[in-house]
Amino acid sequence: MTEKRTVTTIPVTSPQGDYDVTIGRDIYSGIPDALADDVQKVLIVHPPAMGARAAALRESLADRYQVLLAEVPDAENAKRVEVAAFCWQILGQADFARSDAIIGFGGGAITDLAGFVAATWLRGVSLIQLPTSVLGMVDASVGGKTGINTNEGKNLVGVFHAPTAVFADLEVLDTLPRNEILTGFAEIVKAGFIYYPEILDIIESDVAAATDPTTPEFRRVIELSIDMKARVVGEDFREAGLREILNYGHTLGHAIEHAERYQWRHGAAVAVGMMFAAELSRLAGRLGDDAVDRTRRILDSLDLPTEYPVGRWNTLLATMQRDKKTRSGMLRFIVLDDIGKPSVLTAPETALLFAAYQEIGS
Ligand code: GLY
């Protein structure tokens, strides 16, 4: 991390080209410098809630580029093939060239969609991600995973396509409802449990300060989380090994999102998934009671859920068995050997999984 005044830059290495994540306030003026000299057209993909900001961004870029806007549905409703086709139509009608660029301007679902459109248009155009949610900043926009959902599951169609730059402008979080900030914290808590325990200490010492976008504590947990993601994806872009640790809490979390027809926020499902993964780690003999209690306490302090109905187990198990992360038909879970020490649990007995699930059953 390098810090210059109020701007922090975190470099990310990628086989498709290295890029920077810039963190600060009022930083979108740096976008033209991140675009290649031959870019003529820019498509900004944004949800309705970002309409006014997207129009202002268009205005600020209009003297140098022909700027198009694609307003797409909010949240997971954006991650549908029909929505990607709507964006492809705009690109086709505008004669969008391979040298042009797409900007993803929204939360994690929007940056996933914009990345997918950028990866697939003319076999790949450049992409700048402007995440506007906590989750988008610390997870979705960094690392080049792009994708859409199908009826069978989440992110089943996708491409690795690294951005050329990411700008995490903390100012856009100032007006977000508090529960939006808190659900994004699930990914920050994950970064604390798998990599940077300092994050957990900051949340525990003052949860109000840690979750207020205007404080140094908030900025620190965002920077640490992005730094963790940058280091992990820098080492393992295509998830051949280390990157799998980022799935902590996600195997059950994705199954819950699917069971809830994507009406639950991703962070809420991941929170339950992390509670499950902590209990599974404990029952597998790897993690102590203290770390499991700490997981519950921290998630409770953030008003994140830690329970799910016991009766839903069979449905969740069936979805997890279909999850793309199963290898050779075997379920794999990221568990903790200790805080900051994730590892893989392969093909656990169904009885062990159910026992862990009963610990979080309501
Ligand atoms: N969101 C998990 C990853 O980027 O690998």
Question: 3-state secondary structure string, 94-163?
Answer: CCCCCCCEEEEEECHHHHHHHHHHHHHHHHCCEEEEEECCHHHHHHHCCCCEEEEEECCEEEEEEEECCC
Would you state the pLDDT for residue 152? 75
- Separation of alpha carbons 202 and 220, rounded Å: 9
Quick one: average pLDDT of 335-347? 97
Selected catalytic residue, list 41, 58, 145, 161: 145
Residue nearest to atom 3 of ligand 1 (CA): 246
Same-domain pairing of 328 and 341: yes
Confirm whether 190 is domain-assigned. Answer: yes
Confirm whether 2 is domain-assigned. Answer: no
Please provide residue 303's backbone torsions phi and psi, each rounded to the nearest 5 degrees: 60, 30
Confirm whether 201 is domain-assigned. Answer: yes
Taking the centre of ligand 1 as the mean of its atom positions, its distance from the CA of residue 134, in whole angstroms, is 14
Same-domain pairing of 137 and 236: no
Same-domain pairing of 234 and 318: yes
Indicate if ligand 1 lies below 6 Å from the C-beta of 243.
yes
What's the token pair of residue 283?
Answer: 């029952």
Quick one: average pLDDT of 37-62? 98
pTM confidence score = 0.95
Q: Are 104 and 125 in contact (CB under 8 A)?
A: no
Amino acid identity, position 330: M
**DSSP, res 122:** G
What's the token pair of residue 263?
Answer: 């009406």
Count other Cβ atoms within 10 Å, centred on residue 322. 13
Least Cα distance to 70 among 59, 80, 60, 78 occurs for 78
Active site residue 282: no
Count other Cβ atoms within 10 Å, centred on residue 197. 16
- Separation of alpha carbons 265 and 133, rounded Å: 12
- Which residues are 130's β-sheet partners? 105
Mean pLDDT for the chain overall: 95
Same-domain pairing of 162 and 223: no
Please count the structural domains in the chain: 2
Quick one: average pLDDT of 308-316? 96
Residue nearest to atom 2 of ligand 1 (CA): 246
Confirm whether 345 is domain-assigned. Answer: yes
- Separation of alpha carbons 225 and 195, rounded Å: 9
pLDDT tens per residue across span 149-194: 988 777 889 999 999 999 999 999 999 999 999 999 999 999 999 9
Active site residue 250: yes
Would you state the pLDDT for residue 153? 75
Active site residue 187: yes
Would you state the pLDDT for residue 327? 62
Indicate if ligand 1 lies below 6 Å from the C-beta of 249.
no
Active site residue 359: no
Active site residue 171: no
- Binned at pLDDT 50, 70 and 90, residue 1 comes out as low
Confirm whether 1 is domain-assigned. Answer: no
Please provide residue 94's backbone torsions phi and psi, each rounded to the nearest 5 degrees: -95, 5
Q: What is the Cα 296 distance to its own chain's centre? A: 22
Nearest atom, ligand 1, residue 140 CA: 1
Q: Are 69 and 44 in contact (CB under 8 A)?
A: yes
Quick one: average pLDDT of 122-148? 97
Quick one: average pLDDT of 292-315? 97
What three-state secondary structure class fits 75?
Answer: helix
Would you state the pLDDT for residue 22? 98
Would you state the pLDDT for residue 2? 52
Would you state the pLDDT for residue 123? 97
Confirm whether 136 is domain-assigned. Answer: yes
Quick one: average pLDDT of 236-259? 95
- Binned at pLDDT 50, 70 and 90, residue 6 comes out as confident
Active site residue 4: no
Q: Which domain, by its residues, includes 136?
A: 8-173
Give the Å distances, CA to CA, from 79 to 76, 170, 181: 5, 24, 21
Same-domain pairing of 230 and 353: yes
Same-domain pairing of 183 and 148: no
Indicate if ligand 1 lies below 6 Å from the C-beta of 41.
no
Same-domain pairing of 147 and 253: no
Percent of all residues in the chain with a pLDDT value above 70, rounded to a whole number: 97
- Separation of alpha carbons 194 and 187, rounded Å: 10
Domain boundary among 117, 151, 173: 173
- Separation of alpha carbons 334 and 190, rounded Å: 11
Would you state the pLDDT for residue 5? 56
Domain boundary among 151, 173, 195: 173
Indicate if ligand 1 lies below 6 Å from the C-beta of 20.
no
What three-state secondary structure class fits 52?
Answer: helix
Active site residue 123: yes
- Separation of alpha carbons 234 and 251, rounded Å: 23
Q: Are 113 and 161 in contact (CB under 8 A)?
A: no
Amino acid identity, position 111: T
Q: What is the CATH number of the domain that holds 306?
A: 1.20.1090.10
- Binned at pLDDT 50, 70 and 90, residue 261 comes out as confident
- Separation of alpha carbons 281 and 302, rounded Å: 22
Residue 37 has pLDDT above 60, yes or no: yes
Indicate if ligand 1 lies below 6 Å from the C-beta of 139.
yes
Q: What is the CATH number of the domain that holds 14?
A: 3.40.50.1970
pLDDT tens per residue across span 15-27: 999 999 999 999 9
Same-domain pairing of 134 and 16: yes
Residue 336 has pLDDT above 90, yes or no: yes
Indicate if ligand 1 lies below 6 Å from the C-beta of 227.
no
Confirm whether 230 is domain-assigned. Answer: yes
Same-domain pairing of 94 and 137: yes
Same-domain pairing of 197 and 268: yes
Quick one: average pLDDT of 242-261? 94
Q: Helical H runs in the chain?
A: 31-34, 51-61, 81-93, 108-120, 134-135, 178-194, 198-205, 207-210, 216-235, 250-259, 266-283, 289-301, 313-322, 350-360
Percent of all residues in the chain with a pLDDT value above 90, rounded to a whole number: 91
- Binned at pLDDT 50, 70 and 90, residue 99 comes out as very high
What three-state secondary structure class fits 227?
Answer: helix
Nearest atom, ligand 1, residue 232 CA: 5
Confirm whether 61 is domain-assigned. Answer: yes
Same-domain pairing of 115 and 182: no
- Binned at pLDDT 50, 70 and 90, residue 9 comes out as very high
Same-domain pairing of 198 and 164: no
Domain boundary among 173, 203, 230: 173
Selected catalytic residue, list 239, 260, 307, 359: 239
The angle that helices 216-235 and 178-194 make with each other, rounded to 10 degrees, is 50
